[in-house]
Amino acid sequence: MRAGKIYILNINTMAILKVLELMANSTKSWEDAAQQAVTEASKTLHNIRSVYIQDHSASVKNNKITEYRITAKLSFEIEHSSKGSKK
């Protein structure tokens, strides 16, 4: 019988998430608008964990959808600084 891998979790570390509300748009689709929000946010944020689409709407001109819009909540993990460690 072979032993399986053992994973040890550090139970003293707690993840803290922050939630931002974002608005984004796309001429393609609501899905593309969501991706645009994540892509743009990832330029300045790290550790993005999820995106929740709170609302969606569209602009219409001449009976055609011209722009897809979303309001999204994006969560990301805040990075911990090491206490007592010297760099």
Condensed to tens digits (0 to 9), the pLDDT of residues 25-70 reads: 999 999 999 999 999 999 999 999 999 999 999 999 999 999 999 9
> Which pair of structure tokens corresponds to residue 85?
């460690």
Closest CA to 45 of 25, 13, 22: 22
Domain 17-77 has CATH 1.20.120.140: no
Q: Please count the CA atoms within 13 angstroms of the CA of 13 that sit on its side-chain side.
A: 11
Q: Confirm if 46 and 17 have CB atoms less than 8 A apart.
A: no
- Identify the CA nearest to 24 among candidates 82, 78, 85, 68: 68
User: Does the structure show a pLDDT above 50 at 84?
Assistant: no
- The pTM for the full model equals 0.72
